[in-house]
Amino acid sequence: DLYKETIAKYNIALSDIYNMDEKGILMGLIYKTKVIVSILEARKGAVKGRIQPGNREFVTLIECISINGRVLSPWVIFKGKQQNSEWMEVLKEGHIALSDNGWTDNELGIRWLKDCFEPETQNTAGKYRLLIMDGHSSHISTEALKFCITSNIIVLCLPSHSTHITQPLDVGIFRPLAMAYSKGVIEKGEYSPIYSVDKLQFLEIYQHTRKAAITDSNIASAWKKAGLQPFNPDIVLQQLPKLS
């Protein structure tokens, strides 16, 4: 109800409704895959496992999508202290930030609002934009909320512990994104039994991963599965545990 009331109160167009979230990923992670084979093949050792790439460095990705299928520029947060000029040559679009642990923080949260969301969405159909996100402290710091108020950005935080069923990026984008990235890592190391994904390789794989996973159909499905477009809260309510 708050979602619908906010849209009606501020006369927000569907094209001005966005969802932003973060995705943490290990650069060298390959997701486990089950393969069906005959017992004879298994006994002969015809099926061999794949060694996980060596790099376990943590990277944070910030993505933002709109109801009408728009995708904002990607933000990649690496662990480190010094930028590499080659990184953006590989990524081509978006922004690469650094932090001590590869995670976002209050400073990076406000930078994303000022340097990404505001300039890329300021040409609105109406006066206001609606930004849906979780209540992570880096998203709703005092400085971030002040900036949103002065910039006519309405922030709508999802209920705690519910984003796995209420947030579009969580329910419809991040899983295919992770699977596409895993596939890219496998293809990159096809002819090398032991290899390590470095930052340049990560960016090369990820730019292709986004195109494969963040598609118009996946975005539309994500908003629908979250019960937000078309508005249908029963989709979410049916997934809640039944009261005894």
Cα separation, 242 vs 221, whole angstroms: 25
**CA of 32: how far to CAs of 37, 103, 178, 209, in Å?**
16, 25, 12, 18
* Phi, psi values for residue 242, rounded to 5°: -75, 135
Query: What is the reported pLDDT for 187?
Result: 86
Q: What share of the chain is helix, strand, coil (3-state, %, to 5)?
A: 45, 15, 40
pTM of the model: 0.86
Q: What is the pLDDT of residue 240?
A: 86
Q: What's the pLDDT at 221? A: 97
Task: Mark the ranges of the chain whose per-residue pLDDT is less than 70.
Answer: 29-55, 190-195
Beta strand extents in 84-238 (DSSP E only): 95-99, 129-133, 153-157
Cis peptide upstream of residue 193 (ω within 30 degrees of 0): no
22 - beta bridge partners?
A: 62
Q: What pLDDT was estimated at residue 70?
A: 96
